[in-house]
A and B are shown apart, each in its own frame.
Chain A
Amino acid sequence: MGSVDRLREDRELSCRVLADLITHAPSTYPNLRLLLRDFQTKAEGLPAGAVSPFIPSILSRLLSKEDSRFVDLLTRGRPRLGGETRNRPKFDVAVISVINEELLASKIVFGVPLDKDEDYNIGGYRYWRTLLTRKGGKTLDIVLTMAGERNVQCAIACERLFTNFNLGCCFLVGIAGGHKKYVKLGDVIAS
């Protein structure tokens, strides 16, 4: 056994433990971000199949509506590694896409010039802001971003998004497959 193997425990076991800790962390846990970072580090290099079983429970933990207290804590900002508590910009809607083509499509739909630099760059994640005028003249503040492929990346990007901005709601938007009996190219599916 090489010295590297002697140093650390199996990464998949680490991910399993961290997923359990994140899922069961109380809403008052002082620094959930660190647990997520640890999960991200341990998941790096593991095949997607080894990590994906843990993602639903982590995401449900982060997005749980019942646990509003936690979401409130997370999004309002606490002392955290690498950053300070800040006043977060408020948006009515966040639109997340996974791949670049989907982001470009979102920009076109929401009227963001394709050559426009991002409005925020936080920890390497880029965000574009735009306004959508509704019937009656009211406007919606919208933020667009891209999460990147793979479930872990997506979970981290979501967590960053919720931490950095005060959001009304969030949509994952992108290309989907479907049964040709029920849908055809160009249809919009919401689930």
Chain B
Amino acid sequence: MSAQRVYVFPFRFGLSASELLAGEYLQSHLAAASLVSAGPCDLLQESVETIAVDNATMRTRPEVVYNEFFARLRSLTTRPDIVVVDLMQGFPIARGVPLIHLAHAIDTACNEENAPKYILAVDALPPEADPVSKILNDRIASGSVVVLSKDGGVRSATELGSVQAYKLKLMAFSLSPAERLELKLVRSLGHFKRKSSAGEHYRCCRHFYDARFCIDELTQLLKSFVREKFGTGRQPVIIYDAPISQWFVDFILTYGQRTGGTVLRYDAFLRAARRHEGEPVLLVLPMVQSGRRLAQVLSVLDPRTTNSSVTILTILTDRADRPQEKTRRLVNAGRPWDIHYFLQVRAQPYQPENCRLCQLGIPESFPAKTDGPLMLRTIDFWDIVDEAGWKLEENVPEYRNPLGAVPDFPVIVEKNGPWLATKIQSLLDLLPGGYPQDPVIVCPREKGSLVLGELLKGFLQKVTVITVPRSVINMARERQLDLSDFDRDRQDWFVQLSTLTCDDVIIIDEFNASGETRVGLMRLLQLFEKRVLSYLSIVDWNPKQSGVSGAICYSLYDFQGYEVSV
């Protein structure tokens, strides 16, 4: 049996620039094609440029998707046996109409003589009633089209091989929900005062954890937990108690809606306890630290649930007795309770009388409010610097002296990424015209900026990140860059910038010192006729110069720390 010839058409909805795909990513599509064809396959591309469709186009001219599909199909020099239409890395938000156009394009293409088989790879299977399903159902039934999803979902006329789930997971490059929860959890620094229901201030905390970006992960984790502890039989009544964590309320109510289970607030359950007598109870909490609040809850709940088994689950905990089993023990009124948890985190509590933050007069922070400064507070900045550590500056531009010891920015981003991303988003909201519809970020191809770029890509969504090698920035800074030199070998940054559909970009960098990187990138972007909306750095060591640079400069922290070497 000869190998099936495979092409990949990677569409990227919500992104403004194309990027080059190669290597393992394309190989995962090849694995999917092999599963579908049940035979050997050959990929006819070593690399492929993505088809970027930005948000403005999706809203005003969604039919572009149809045309782009056929343009790519007509450009093929060899007739394919399988075409993988890849939508896995795009953004599901508001993609409805463009996806319908794409489904129509596939449907039309199936009518052609010797039409290839199409694999539509999406992040989630469209519901049966979705127009996309209605358009493609006949094609799926005839075997012309197979729809695959990131989480292993399949819509196909025939059974695929038994290894499909494994292969599809490989294809999605996905982490486990618990790993994603750890990565996406927002750890805010502040001065959070814990108070009892009587208003007694009994503890201060340095951190507040917010899982607002993790609703899907938490839903998956809780579903698995319920399945493991309660089986598929009688489902528990879920009770929640969250006096300050709005993210948790949002999550647990979403969970209730998605699963159709009974989810009640703690006080509401107490009023209706008799109605649920004998039913298993699952008490879910956002965070357990000392267990003081939980003990209060249990002292009221325990006498009302004498005929029910109560299981306790907390999303987060600051300590664990049996980390392998993800449980900790709490003894309340002589009765031991096992508390299950999803993730252990660091809390850094202070007694009020010894609280460093109270002594310094740091104002109280409120998790649900956003009235604090948009930039980092002094104590927060220097605390995260201390936590991350220092290192000698790397990738020193040749036009200035080394700065010596600088904070370890990649580690800062790694430890505080989601929080910094929310801060950066707030700063970008200040731009004239507000947060860009299609944010495009250009940064130097260096570790700190790359980590920051990936972070923004992951959290702010709809963000296109273009990384530019230092040598190119230097040439642009010295006005010695000839774009025609790069047109020949089509490096990825060149492809992205030359196919960028929007005119406005944001430059980011881990820190600003001499301002020359900013000058180099601004000159480079001028060559591509792009406008710099803003220059954004984690730290600006040279705010006086940034103020006269001609760009709107934002940073998460700034002070005049840079001087010309003496």
Contact = CB atoms under 8 A, between A and B. Distances in A.
B390 interface: yes
Interface in B543-562: 543, 558-562
B564 A82 contact: yes
Interface string B419-460: 000000000001000000000000000000000000000000
Interface residues of A, number: 31
A44 to B, nearest CB: 8
Contact of B430 (A3, A8, A13, A31): A3
Interface stretch (B86-94, B337-345, B401-409): B401-409
Interface in B311-366: 360-362
Interface in A1-46: 3, 6-9, 13-14, 16-18, 20-21, 30-31, 34-35, 37-38, 40-42
A20 B360 contact: yes
A137 interface: no
Contacts of B564: 82
B373 A13 contact: no
Contact of B378 (A7, A37, A38, A82): A38
A30 B405 contact: yes
Contacts of B124: none
Nearest to A11: B378
Contact of A9 (B378, B390, B406, B430): B378
Contacts of A14: 377-378
B21 interface: no
A81 B563 CA distance: 7
B560 A40 contact: yes
B560 A84 contact: no
A169 interface: no
Interface residues of B, dominant DSSP: loop
Contacts of A84: 401-402, 404, 565
Contact of A13 (B361, B374, B403, B559): B361
A7 B563 contact: no
A83 B404 contact: yes
Contacts of B375: 7-9
Contacts of B566: 82-83, 122-123, 164
B560 A41 contact: yes
B188 to A, nearest CB: 15
B3 interface: no
Given A42-B378, A84-B404, A17 B561 contact: no
A126 interface: no
Contacts of A90: none
Given A34-B561, A79-B392, A13 B404 contact: no
A69 interface: no
Interface string B367-408: 000001111011100100000001010000000011111100
B559 A31 contact: no
8 contacts: A18-B382, A38-B378, A41-B543, A79-B405, A81-B541, A82-B562, A82-B564, A83-B401
Query: Which 5 A-B pairs give the minimum distances between C-beta atoms?
Result: A79-B404, A41-B559, A82-B563, A14-B378, A38-B559
